[in-house]
Structure 1
């Protein structure tokens, strides 16, 4: 079984300037994902894709096996992540001469995941009939109870309704937030046109305290606080 890990880190972050290499308790943010990938001992190769030479150099210092320069058209504010991952895997396979069975992407801005999360997500793919795995956490809000939308005439209403009203959030159908922490694919599925969701997609559930994706200054401060308080332990 051949496995590749990709870590995609754009240089032009808007929400948190330079977040992918911003120091977090003495290490650049991207270092946590690289260390988790290496500690899992799952991967034949770990690749980092970026449009930033600085990010690529730091990634090399923290153990990336292959550095992939991302094309400008895949590094814009509007660029989707899936084509970036596909480009990275294609380049790694060309450079290494290896066709991988399992492709795993670790989000550089999700440092609170554990090494065991990575192992379990990969195991879920390889031990079931799943074609790809997404990770998520229990949603704090429910579209059936306290998430609202505005109608065309500006009237607030619940995002989703049932035949009977939900008077307690606990009575609403279970909902989940994708945390974008780990994506796992069988190679052929990654390169299909089905996108992230297909009939054989399975979900690996993570707790909220390991699911924070740094997308704002508040997220960064919260992650830093959790680490400082030793609320989480890294393998």
Structure 2
């Protein structure tokens, strides 16, 4: 099967200023995702999409195949992720005159994945004939059946999800996951014809918590930096 890997990185960031270029282990954050994709040997093309010329130049320096300048309307704080990925894939296919079977997007802000996570995610989706796409996640820190609550319309607190019978131990609740924004994989038809993160046939690849931190704040960046230093490498 033919495969493309996209890495979509906006120049602006509110939680951590210029986070995609901020260094971890002596390299810009985005470089780690590029190097993981290259080391996997899985992809025919690795492409970076950004509205930032500095990010695109950094991506080229770390060996991506193609860089795509993202249009302004897809680079706002409110722009959805899927149209950005679709724009990137469409542009690459026009440039290369090549059609891909499998689309994989890896998030630069979730760099604690390893190469095996990439390989497993793609292998699982490709071998599952009924699945349209795959997301990654880790066991949730709170359970919607036990200790995750929300307010109702009257301002009173209740469990987010109720079971027919009350449970008294978190371990007895149905398993739930936190999405970690690390790896997304789609088969082509689902990617272009039914564009969604969730479909009736979406599957999940489970990753451990220590490889599942998504950088959205300075504290997240410190956690990721600490774990990266502990590992010594993000491959």
Does the alignment reach a TM-score above 0.5?
A: yes
* CA shift for structure 1 position 171: 1.1
Measured against aligned partners, the alpha-carbon deviations of 1:41-95 in whole angstroms (never above 9, x if no partner) come to 0111100000000000001001111010001110000000000000000000000
Name the counterpart of 2:64.
Answer: 64
Name the counterpart of 1:209.
Answer: 210
Name the counterpart of 1:125.
Answer: 125
Name the counterpart of 1:52.
Answer: 52
Name the counterpart of 2:20.
Answer: 20
Gaps of 5+ in 1: none
Q: Secondary structure at the match of 2:10?
A: coil
* CA shift for structure 1 position 200: 2.1
Using structure 2 for the length normalisation, give the TM-score.
0.97
For the residues of structure 2 that align with 1:95 and 1:84, how far apart are their CA atoms? 17
Name the counterpart of 1:29.
Answer: 29
Preserved CA contact (<8 Å) 2:215 2:221: yes
Using structure 1 for the length normalisation, give the TM-score.
0.97
For the residues of structure 2 that align with 1:199 and 1:163, how far apart are their CA atoms? 24
Gaps of 5+ in 2: none
Preserved CA contact (<8 Å) 2:24 2:228: no
* CA shift for structure 1 position 233: 5.4
Query: CA, structure 1 residues 164+150, in 2 after alignment: closer, same or farther (shift >3 Å)?
Result: same
Preserved CA contact (<8 Å) 2:32 2:234: no
For the residues of structure 2 that align with 1:142 and 1:233, how far apart are their CA atoms? 32
Q: Secondary structure at the match of 1:79?
A: coil
Taking the TM superposition and a 5 Å limit, the aligned residue runs for 1:183-222 are 183-222=184-223
Detail structure 1 runs of 4+ shifted over 4 Å in the superposition: none
For the residues of structure 1 that align with 2:233 and 2:54, how far apart are their CA atoms? 29
Name the counterpart of 1:88.
Answer: 88
Measured against aligned partners, the alpha-carbon deviations of 1:18-42 in whole angstroms (never above 9, x if no partner) come to 0011111210000000000000001
Taking the TM superposition and a 5 Å limit, the aligned residue runs for 1:89-104 are 89-104=89-104
Name the counterpart of 2:163.
Answer: 162
